[in-house]
Structure 1
Amino acid sequence: MKDTDPTKEPSALSIIAVGFDGSAPAAAALDWAAVEARRTGATLRVISVVHYPGVHAGTMESVPILPASLLNRANKLSAEAASRARKVLDVGKLETQIVIGAAAEVLVAATDSVRLLVVGNRGRSDLASTVLGSVSFAVTAHAHCPVVVVGEGAVLVGPQRGVAVGVDGSSTGNLALDLAADLAAHAGAPLRIISAWDLPAAESPAYDYWETVSPDADLARIQHDVALKVVTAALERARSRHRMLVVTSDVLQGQAGAVMAAASHDAGLVVVGSRGLGGFTGLVLGSVSHHVIHTCACPVMVVRTPASDRPAATRQEGVMAGSRTVTWWDPDPEGRPDDDPHIPPRRP
């Protein structure tokens, strides 16, 4: 397989979006996004969100009547973002938008037309009227493209700070691996591939299953061997994709979130898939994602299963936008898999 970077393909969207609310984490996210845009030749779109009760979501131009004080603060915030980004990017590679709405809703909608979204972690703004930490969690759960969550003091990927990726053999895990390998290769950084495994908790359904089916089995050895097989295949995949890439691999016991958080201390970026199998199951919609996003010592990229690979009914999602919920309903609820815990019940 030849060396490749999906951001270089002619068909790839050439826009990186970043949410900006003026907080320190948002500034760190803007800096990270600007450097990544320069590295890949992408255009950077800076989105500032104005939450004003009673006004429907839309761009500033579509909602001309706003309090002068709010309008002035929004324009000042956008100008601040543009000034900061221009230290890294040419004017022709920079766009700014002021959008009316709830932060999570606006940023999720923005992912329809960009290849990457970058958000700060644990920021706060009265313009967004929400804690950006919770927004980052909601966005990673519902975005239509990969999302990078950046905290204060983030370091950049490079020869001294590589990319760590969690793999589990799923299609989403492979997509995360490919993106991680591409980014590492083009940043001249090493890639570390990690497969996590752990024993099921006693009295859990999984534990009961193994006790019933194969009570004499060495469960620890079985779990380790599966993880080893996964990481070996991932190693071969990364090396065939980028022959000159420095790649290492590890099979580690522990909960996926804790394993990746530990790996983040030596990394410039942690990459995980959101709908994988094994140790990374339910990453975004469960407690593991919260652990990864909020405890990693470096930026985290969350890669979701492509929409084309998900059942149509998964379009039915709940997005937490500040204190209100924005819901998209599947027009054909009969297609909803009843056993999918990530999909809300059918609409009455």
Structure 2
Amino acid sequence: MIRFVLLAAVAVLGLAGSAMAEPIAATPAEQVQLDALYQPEDWFVSHLKGPRETANGAILDARLQYVLETVTRPASAPAVQAYLRSSYATAQGRDAARTALDRYWALRTLETAAMQTVSDDMVTGRAGDGIAVRIYQPKSTEKRLPVLVYYHGGGFMFGSIEGWDRAMRLIANEGRVIVVSVAYRLAPEHPYPAAWNDAEDAYDWTLSHIRAFGGDARAVAVGGDSAGGTLAISVALRAAKAKKTGPSALLLYYPGVDREGVYPSMKTFGTGYGLDADALAYLAGLVYPAGSATTSADTSPMQADLCPMPQSLIVTAGFDPLSGSQLAFAARLKDKGCPVEVRTYGTLIHAFLQTTGYVPDAAAAATETARRFGEMVRHPAKGRTCK
């Protein structure tokens, strides 16, 4: 029997927290783990601990169910979580966790074609802080390409340019867009509103530098996954409030949109599907200072004035605890007259962009949505209204 041990949630504490070279390459031990993920689907089906899991008529991908059963759920045990969270109290522990998780996520993300150019730059934020950005320009015959300013996920505490490098290349290639990937500051070192300010500052910098890297100033969008989706929405709302040039479109992968509402999806998938309710509460305690309003437009856009908002592509997963809030958010946008398109992938879980290397359904979902976004940003919706 082939069995892989991917208990990254514990192993992270044994890795150094130094900066990673790009691109990330698998060590021999990591390659053994990765090779085990590429077994035929029937192998995973035959090694599941429980019956196939279903929701809303869809069957959870067998590879994902296997990883949830053998890795994610054991790592969610109270003793393991207590150990990890005690380590996060130190800078060394956080650095080690971030480094290891970046490697874990990046190595399980699909590799795609080489870029025309990849370059790093530094944005000076409003407080004088440096915000690193990485600019991906795909090979193209178009004179100027649409631009997507993208914010990675990770609960505002984890994630980086390096961890999302392969995902950005996929979106750039399939969407035929230039991607500006933003390394915003992370909590708890930098709680709210640090990440939100960095997101806005990186967007403003992109607008002022767009022609330097071949971008089309008429087609500048923002996007992100999970926590990064929250930041992307905030950038659009802040631009509208300040009456400055806002993004022409939003690309939102399973975004965080509501800190107030209670949805059935959280009750159904809030434990054991990779994004537990107690983990969300833990992260919120680190991200938001005491007294932060849970109805802030920045942090809970469901409660915001959404009029006007640019056209949005919202991508949801069938086994995501946040899916109920995302669908409700999309419905509210539609009710306001804002152009919105929802694509739901029933077999997948939250953070599926980091599973595209070994889950065919995830690779197909990422490819399809990136292509659809490329079409959307080139052909904006007409006749937008605001109610």
* Larger radius of gyration between Structure 1 and Structure 2: 1
Same fold (TM over 0.5): no
Q: TM-score, normalised by structure 2?
A: 0.27
Q: TM-score, normalised by structure 1?
A: 0.30
Q: Which has the higher strand share?
A: 1
